[in-house]
Amino acid sequence: MLSKFGIQFKYTLVFVITLILIITGLLIGVYHLKQRQLRNEAMAVAEQVVAFRAWVAGAGVVWVDHLAPEFRDFLGKRTGVDANAKVLEFYSKNPALATRELSELANKTATRATFRVTSDEYRNPANAPDGFEQASLQAFKSDKERKYNDVLEGGFYRYSQPIFVQQSCLKCHGDPKDAPPEVIEKYGNKAAFGYKVGDVRGIISVKLPDVTLTDVLSSVLNPYTLGLIALAFLLNFFYAQRAIIARLKTLAKTTERLAHGELDLPLETRPGSRDEVDYVTRAIDLLRNSLVIAMRRLQKTGS
């Protein structure tokens, strides 16, 4: 079918197809790059949460001298007296409470990433896992070597990584008999007990807005990129036009004239050139010379 068209059309068609393939490959590469970027961003948030929880767990609990209006929950309470005989009250926050308050505070001001900590053995109904988080918990429990779980869901990138039970966690999540009285008083002796070191206690769940195809296209197909693509097209087009097509047309016309008996027409050949058009020109020149010799011999024979 393409035999009906000239080299110029075929060359342009091949160039356009090549350009489409390059852009498609570039978009696929950018897609995988943005996936990695989203994962790295979510992982950085999760690692900060891990460090914060480890700091609180290392101290057992943190104590505050008053409760913020929006964070009235606490684990234990102690009172004391200062030098002026004024009664002071102190409230303890365990890792779960401290992390939940941190997430609520951070999520209110977050421009991109939001996070929370959840578990299938939750003590607070507000911490119940959603579908993605429940699936992540099952995945981590099935494969302890799994580092993370992620998915694109509803225009968001969802990421989770497991929280493993450490020795310091067993005080509140091991045997209920060893738990502090305030833990039993607040949560009872049933929920979130019986863990061993290395068990999956829960997950850190991070949510980020996904990078859309429009965002990718606006980044890739910017004026500079489009300008370079247009320049590449023009360079290839004019090179093909002048260096190949125009020379082939000239050679074709010259060959037709030779076929009509104009054997003294000059052929522009460039000795030593590896250009395919020059190869064809030299071959036609040899053919013309052979034809001239053959005609001379015929003339001598005839005379």
pLDDT digits (tens, 9 = 90+) for 145-204: 999 999 999 889 999 999 999 888 888 888 988 888 888 888 888 888 999 999 999 999
Give the least confident one: 5-14, 36-45, 46-55, 93-102. Answer: 5-14
Tell me what the mean pLDDT of segment 76-88 comes to.
Answer: 86
Burial label for 99, CB within 10 Å (0-12, 13-18, 19+), is buried
Mean of all residue pLDDT scores within the chain: 86
Strand 77-81 to 87-93 pairing: antiparallel
Tell me what the mean pLDDT of segment 94-108 comes to.
Answer: 89
Count of C-beta atoms within a 10 Å radius of residue 206: 26
pLDDT value, residue 3: 62
39 pLDDT higher than 80: yes
Cα dihedral sign for 218, 219, 221, 227?
positive
219 pLDDT higher than 80: no
Of 51 and 271, the structure prediction assigns the larger pLDDT to 51
d(CA 216, CA 221): 8
pLDDT value, residue 148: 96
pLDDT value, residue 11: 75
Tell me what the mean pLDDT of segment 68-95 comes to.
Answer: 88
Tell me what the mean pLDDT of segment 249-270 comes to.
Answer: 81
